[in-house]
Structure 1
Amino acid sequence: MIRLALRLSLMGVLLAALQVLFAAATGYKDTPSPVRLCDGYLGEGCDVLYLGDSTLYSVAPDDEDKAHTDQMLQRLLPGLSVCRIAHDAYHLELYEAFCRYVAGKVRRPRVVIMPINLGTLSPYWDRRPEYQFERIKLFLRHDNPLFRAFYRPLATFRVFDLAPISQEEYDQTPVYDGEHYIGPMATFTSPEYATFSDEHMRNQLVLRYLYPIPSDQRKLEAMEDIVDRLESANVMLVFYLTPIDFETGNTHMGERFQQHIRENAHKVLMRLQKRGVKALDLSLALSADCFYWGNMYVNEHLNQHGRRFVAEQLARAIKERLRQ
């Protein structure tokens, strides 16, 4: 029995060693591409790391200048290298994981830029199953070769919960208009919304923007963690609230739409102010002609004029802070 145990132990050690060697030889192929991209940027000595969502790179068909926001920013900061990591649905929780990862490195960027997209704080976005990005978070939060080597065997045995929110749970998520419950999520994401109507537009505006912000909102807690991590790593932080098409919102909902955006923005800004951070509030800065939704319902996507405005505001803020 003892011999068998020893043989099994030796076999386990041998298999583990082979797994480590194989993973290293194949370049840790299970590592998500955004993590690899971040590694590459850090290795190159990136000056400005721009984390973001689709508001950075969505363009209007008639844009003469189709440069993305980060590319426009690079033009305005020729002496610094601007590097982008972005995806349609990235948000503050994932940014926090990237910042944790970056803060632990020897070579770090001088500046990290992140949008605070108020739309991502809504239950519509916050609890959407495919927007959790658990696999990327795992790799960012377990920054060592052993984890990268053994991720696949561990995932095979479902050691990790890569789907913390089921579709059924998401469908039952309560939706609020301010403080008033108006129904479950499934009511507002049903196939009938593939057809436009004024009522559907109003419901989508409520769903995406008129939610209340609870004090324990997890993305805002992640935002506060970002401040702590980057300050401790001596990395300059630039937060900005993304522009929202409030004029179109007001057209369908009246002035209460703009007022609710202002109130939610204020709550976010006050949480940052308590930590000594001043964010750029661009939430009500742009008129409707600076947006291009790309579909029938309002979102935060910008045309060339909107992207250029954001890039100019960021460039000004970075230049001022670097001079301090």
Structure 2
Amino acid sequence: MVFRKIVLRFFALTVLLIGMNFIYVLFFLEQDLQHFAPIVNSIRAIPKDSKILYIGESSNVTISLEDLDQRPISELLNEHYPSLRIAQLTQAAAHAGIFKTLLENVDPQTEIETVVVTLNLRSFNAEWIYSGLETPLRKTALLLEDRPALMNRFLLSFKHYPAYTEKERFDLIQSEWEAQDLALPKNFPYKNVIQWRDAVDRIGLKNARGERDHKRTQLAYEFISSYAFRIDLKNNPRIADLNDIIDLAKKRNWNLVFNLMAENTDMAEELLGPELLSIIRDNRKLLVDYFTKKKVTVVDNLELIRNADFVDKEWPTEHYNQHGRRMIAANLAQAIQKFHKKDYAPVDNVHFFNDCEGQLPWANLHTLSSKQAASGKKSSCTDLQNEYSINFRFPFEQLPDKARNKVHVKMMVQGTTFNGETLLVMDVRRKNGEHYWKSVALNELTRQKKDWQTITHTFDLSPVHSDGEFIEIYVYNQSKKILYVDDIDILFQ
């Protein structure tokens, strides 16, 4: 009898909990998701026909203020696979543990074939593991974890996530720094991070006058904190999270790629010598070997990017300018050819075409108009309010050396009047900041008629062959008359 009562009560409790979970999902879950986990909207927005998913942190989207091309790495990757839809998920400060939860929530019905997971070396260090950002990240992930929704909400209410005080965080980080032996040669005087940091702080880095350089000393301090550690394959939580992602990829039948991001090894060696660089390289080898044995494609970008292409100069990050992001995307694109060989289209940085339909990230996209078009539905409209047409901008230094002699420009134009106030312009900014500016009046290139017509012109690049930095090509209309531009074709030779 007693046993029967227990069974009935257990059954009643189970029914009650199932009912409560149903009510919570029906009426309250969405509100909580929008409040605590808005990243769910990005997950839901992944197009069903996506073939590649790129998941990362701020390294994907951070730009330099001087960048003309502000596309994230995921979009630059798409240049190499124009026939494929590439989706992206970006969560600032995220790491493998967060990526795992986000990937578990990707709709299984999507057509994703390849998943690219950002592998950030710094995310394995103690400062990141016990970061103050870990609390909001874990709160975001908690409601998305693979459990009944009501249970996740209870766990959220009872703070089932890391919520260390600043003192607790400090103590945990200090404990790891003190406990781990850096395993450097015996003649290296410091055994752990604390000893090394204290020595740098005490001695300091010197400038050319032999005086303490406070900025470089602080930067060296930060580099030690970020990179002076040895990855423990058994105990580092990132390894377990990445192994879970491997299991998920197998279950979903995804090609899995770990994209190891570039670190500023130039600055690491300049500030702290070969010892820190050797630790960075050892950790890279450990990760590459470990995950390659598990049949994961690991793209090694660790030393791909030079110091000049890092955005942040006062602390170590994986934030790159447009040149750096392009290099990462190109290296990644080559590595995943084996999964999408027939769709791979190498970017040669020689021939560019824009049909003015708004698909390419050229400047002055606000000039696109559907009033006239030589092809498609849109063209670039210049008039009294918009004197500059859609604008081709490109880092001159990324052009192959053989393609820096001349540039051929061809485009379609339509207007009521062509005169000396309507110009085709090429502007090359030199490395010293000066500009090499050349133009030709459209009335020298066109016939006086209202229909669409083709104009062509060749600009000489030899004066800036070796010192050009950025090049721009556009139409400059000062005539106060409407002029439409379409189908811009640019070829460097």
TM range (shorter): 0.7 to 0.9
Task: Report if the CA contact (8 A) 1:129-1:163 is conserved.
Answer: no
Q: Residue 49 of structure 2 corresponds to which residue in structure 1?
A: 45
Task: Report if the CA contact (8 A) 1:35-1:139 is conserved.
Answer: no
The one-letter code sitting in structure 1 at the alignment partner of 2:97 is E
RMSD: 3.1
Point out the structure with max Rg over C-alpha.
Answer: 2
**Residue deviations 1:160-185 (CA, integer Å, cap 9, x gap):** 4123544322101222672523439x
Tell me, in whole angstroms, the C-alpha distance in 2 between the residues paired with 1:151 and 1:277: 31
- Number of matched residues? 301
Q: Residue 191 of structure 1 corresponds to which residue in structure 2?
A: none
Task: Report if the CA contact (8 A) 2:193-2:228 is conserved.
Answer: no
Give the secondary structure class of the aligned counterpart of 2:230: coil
Tell me, in whole angstroms, the C-alpha distance in 2 between the residues paired with 1:20 and 1:100: 21
Tell me, in whole angstroms, the C-alpha distance in 2 between the residues paired with 1:250 and 1:154: 45
Q: Aligned ranges for residues 1-324 of structure 1 at < 5 Å?
A: 20-21=22-23, 23-25=25-27, 28-31=30-33, 32-41=37-46, 44-102=48-106, 105-107=108-110, 109-132=112-135, 133-142=137-146, 147=149, 151-152=152-153, 155-156=156-157, 158=158, 160-172=159-171, 173-174=173-174, 175=177, 178-179=182-183, 180-183=191-194, 196-216=214-234, 217-293=236-312, 296-323=314-341
Instruction: State which drifts further: 106-115 or 49-58.
Output: 106-115
The one-letter code sitting in structure 1 at the alignment partner of 2:114 is V
For structure 1, the residue ranges without an aligned partner over 5 or more in a row are 1-8, 188-194
Task: Report if the CA contact (8 A) 1:57-1:69 is conserved.
Answer: yes
Instruction: State which drifts further: 117-126 or 132-141.
Output: 132-141
Task: Report if the CA contact (8 A) 2:231-2:283 is conserved.
Answer: yes
Task: Report if the CA contact (8 A) 1:35-1:136 is conserved.
Answer: no
Instruction: State which drifts further: 223-232 or 245-254.
Output: 223-232
Task: Report if the CA contact (8 A) 1:47-1:111 is conserved.
Answer: yes
Tell me, in whole angstroms, the C-alpha distance in 1 between the residues paired with 2:99 and 2:119: 10
Q: How far is 1:52 from its partner? A: 0.3
Give the secondary structure class of the aligned counterpart of 1:49: strand
Task: Report if the CA contact (8 A) 1:23-1:29 is conserved.
Answer: no
Q: Aligned residues: percent identity?
A: 19
Bigger relative CO (Cα 8 Å, ≥ 6 apart):
1
Tell me, in whole angstroms, the C-alpha distance in 2 between the residues paired with 1:213 and 1:154: 30
> Hey, which of these two has a bigger chunk of helix by percent?
1
Tell me, in whole angstroms, the C-alpha distance in 2 between the residues paired with 1:86 and 1:35: 11
Instruction: State which drifts further: 166-175 or 199-208.
Output: 166-175
The one-letter code sitting in structure 1 at the alignment partner of 2:270 is T
**Residue deviations 1:222-242 (CA, integer Å, cap 9, x gap):** 112211220232111111110
Scaled by the length of structure 1, the TM-score of the pair is 0.81
> Hey, which of these two has a bigger chunk of strand by percent?
2
Tell me, in whole angstroms, the C-alpha distance in 2 between the residues paired with 1:273 and 1:213: 16
Instruction: State which drifts further: 249-258 or 33-42.
Output: 33-42
Tell me, in whole angstroms, the C-alpha distance in 1 between the residues paired with 2:23 and 2:330: 48
